[in-house]
Amino acid sequence: MLGRKLLLIMLSAFLMIQCAGGGTVRFPKSEFKKSIGDYRKMHIRAKSRNLLGKYGFEIEREEGTEDDDQGDIYIESKWKERVPFESEKADNIISARTKIIIRARSTNRSLNMTSGERIYKAEFSSEDMVLIRGQEDWTKQTMSPELMEYLEKLYDELAAELRFTR
């Protein structure tokens, strides 16, 4: 009984804090990850390669060939050095680098009964590391709003390109 009352008090306190704070819990993000949707393997690979090339990301690792109908897709870029955004500079970040990863897993569904071509669920993600003044090692840190906006732009562009393939 005492445990139940304590749980109720804690839940009430949590809800009051949420109401006072506008109802949104915000946790800083150190990663960017979003589902793109369900598409054909050949389109995911081609559009992903195009996007990475357009924005100067070199492919470091790629798995899941056109011939391998069963295999998943994994495309990972090399780290791309970038100039820190203004808010990052204000946090003493002197250098930054970003990596893009595109994964797609088979849904075990086919495009249609006659072709048998599988549909893949695609996901866009990114990792970012920074070098802080006075430190020697690269480290993960909360992504800046400008970086999140940049990654959202890349994600939106890839999602839009893939939508045209349907």
pTM recorded for the entire structure: 0.77
Backbone dihedral angles phi then psi of residue 120, each to the nearest 5 degrees: -120, 140
Per-residue model confidence (pLDDT) at position 74: 95
Per-residue model confidence (pLDDT) at position 116: 65
Please give the structure tokens belonging to residue 37.
């949707």
Is the CB of residue 126 less than 8 Å from the CB of residue 98? yes
Per-residue model confidence (pLDDT) at position 19: 43
The answer as to whether 68 is a domain residue is yes
The answer as to whether 104 is a domain residue is yes
CATH number, position 53: 3.30.310
Residue 150 pLDDT grade (very low, low, confident, very high; cuts 50, 70, 90): very high
Chain centroid offset of residue 107 CA: 20
Please give the structure tokens belonging to residue 157.
């562009």
Domain of residue 107 covers: 37-163
The answer as to whether 101 is a domain residue is yes
Give pLDDT tens digits for 37-53: 999 888 999 999 999 99
Per-residue model confidence (pLDDT) at position 106: 86
The answer as to whether 13 is a domain residue is no
Contacts of 39 (CB under 8 A, 6+ apart): 104, 119, 120, 122, 162, 165, 166
Per the structure, the count of domains in the chain is 1
Give pLDDT tens digits for 65-103: 666 666 799 999 999 999 999 999 999 999 999 999 999
Check whether 28 has a pLDDT greater than 60. Answer: no
Residue 28 has a CB neighbour count (10 Å cut-off) of 7
